[in-house]
Structure 1
Amino acid sequence: MSARYWALIIFIGSIWGTSFLFNAVLIRELGPITVAAGRVTIAALVSWLLFFALRKPLPRDPMLYLKLGLLGVFSYAVPFTLFPISQAHIPSGLAAIINALLPVVTVLVSHYWPGGEKIKRHKAAGVVAGFTGAALLASPSLAAGNEHGELWAIAVCFAAVMLYAITLNVARSFKAIEPTTIATIAISGAALTSVPVALWVEGVPHIERIETWAAWIAIGVFCTALAFQLMYRLLPRVGTTNFASNTFVTPVVAVLLGVSLLGESIRPIHLLGMGVVFLGLLLIDGRILKIWRKPVSGTEVVSPR
């Protein structure tokens, strides 16, 4: 794979790492549903501008709008709400580390999904390592008796990851649809459903801080519209395995930003858990095993005489 594609993968991972910082800023003044509603609304507007700028044709099948709209609700609107809810109780860096479990959960969901990819031995080992890392991440909250709601917040964050994994498998049925069309209609469906719910539950937002507006625009334009448009274009060229490498970048960026700009702290057990999760990702990828086996397979065995 070319250096250009690796640079784009790192770029996308870095963008998604900043989304946890923006969520932490937004929940200081906005409710979690309002955060998600604004994010997908801004992203939908930018996506439609790109859609018409590229002169993409509108689909003629009414059912396609409904299906993609529902995909957007469960892959954007709901997870984008769950992450801010969790970040009210746990550091943004920890939320990003839990998000790094996505490839692990996706492998598990795909195994049981109709027509999905079955788990091989190295992927099974990766799933075990990944959930071991998740257990390490949750262990401080379990030891503390969940006094501060951390365990509950970790569960909410993991529910968002589970939704991502399920909708990734659902999205396979739309592989014949042009990527810009998928992203634009799905994000629009998320906006059309989340805005009324946000207004009903949390009311009209009252924003006083300039950083709230800046974070809202940034998370909508860059972390959602731009990132997902790039993702759908990059996937056919690099494959899902290579693209999943961005999960190595996302939590690192989120942890660094949370510690340096928000004054958050990450415990050593969290870093250990992140390391075990990364080990799981390497095992799922499989290439580390191939590299390890090459010298062994190329070594000539001489029998004793």
Structure 2
Amino acid sequence: FGSATPVSKIVTGAMPVFVGSAFRVGLGALVLAPFAWRKRGEIRTLVRRDWLIVCLIALFGMFGFSALMLYGMKMVSGVVGAIVMSTAPAVTAAASMLFFGDSATWRKLTAIALAVAGVLLLQLGQGSDGGSASEMWLGAALVFAAVCCEASYTLLGKRMSEHVDPVLVAFLASALSVPLFLPFAVWQWADFDAAQVSAGAWAAAIWYGAGTLSLGTWLWYSGLAKAEGAVAAAFMGVMPVSALLLSYLLLGEEFRLMHLAGFGTVFAGVLLMSWEHARMEKKA
């Protein structure tokens, strides 16, 4: 999952947003299909409410996330995108408290505050040179909106995975999101020359769909089935670290102390949230 941020930067630099997004979910659905086929019997057990949730996951978790993420990454660096994306645990916790009635502990609230402070620290430290600054703020806002869509995917998917295999949910959501992307992808295809896309960019696009969406989903949920919730919560902290490091390695971006300050603040919130997850797991 951590590679999604820098890889999306490569994809959005090589192809139109909706073309890249449609390719991602289409390929993701194809790769997930063999795993979902084994669980096809569960489809008959889905009721109207389940299909509504799957459609919402397709709308927000697939369509909204991909489009907002790619448009946002056109305007910000991979490092900035990685740091904004690292607020996902805090945003998910906030949404869970707001919409699902989860308890608001001081650790959760502090983690949310640290996430916000880290992003603001990063943005304020980037300078204020007119148009580029306003574009960066807009890009960061779009990436943050993608984080909110990811939070909806996590929370809605959690509700579904209580009685439906998570990989089947991911496949259905990916497949249902393809028609949402197609009209926009066809529109953008007219000005797109696939022959001009480099082999490296195609490799990034393939990994964006087969790796971050399909393989990432399968590995994550397979691990959740075998590991305690506290262990999974702790490994959530690996995602933003890998996203940041891969932004430097894959994109060759310049290291700045402000990056370290912003990321350190956000990551402190991630660790605090992981601690809270571990504490709640033991308490349960």
Change (3 A) 1:266 1:84: farther
Structure 2 counterpart of 1:111: 97
Which structure has the bigger radius of gyration?
Answer: 1
Structure 1 counterpart of 2:282: none
1:159 Cα deviation after fit:
0.7
1:29 Cα deviation after fit:
2.2
**Higher normalized helix content (fraction of residues):** 2
User: Does 2:233 match 1:249?
Assistant: no
Aligned-partner SS, 2:132: coil
Q: Which of the residues 18, 27, 44 maps onto 2:12?
A: 27
- Residues 59-83 of structure 1: CA deviation (Å, up to 9, x unaligned): 1247344531331221122111212
Q: Which of the residues 186, 196, 204 maps onto 2:173?
A: 186
State the aligned residue count: 273
Q: Which of the residues 115, 132, 139 maps onto 2:117?
A: 132
> Post-superposition, which runs of at least 4 consecutive aligned residues in structure 1 deviate over 4 A?
287-290
Aligned mates of 1:240, 1:198 — CA distance in 2? 39
Superposed CA RMSD: 2.5
* Gaps in structure 2 of 5+ consecutive residues: 280-284
* Gaps in structure 1 of 5+ consecutive residues: 1-15, 291-305
Aligned mates of 1:288, 1:224 — CA distance in 2? 24
- Residues 43-64 of structure 1: CA deviation (Å, up to 9, x unaligned): 0011112222x35325124734
Alignment of 1:195-274 (within 5 A): 195-203=182-190, 205-207=192-194, 208=196, 209-274=198-263
Alignment of 1:123-162 (within 5 A): 123-141=108-126, 143-145=128-130, 147-148=132-133, 149-162=135-148
Change (3 A) 1:244 1:205: farther
1:238 Cα deviation after fit:
3.1
Identity of aligned residues (%): 24
> Does the 8 A contact of 1:100 with 1:247 survive in 2?
no
Aligned mates of 2:192, 2:229 — CA distance in 1? 38
Quick one: which amino acid aligns to residue 12 of structure 2? I
Alignment of 1:59-70 (within 5 A): 59-60=43-44, 61=46, 63=48, 64-70=50-56
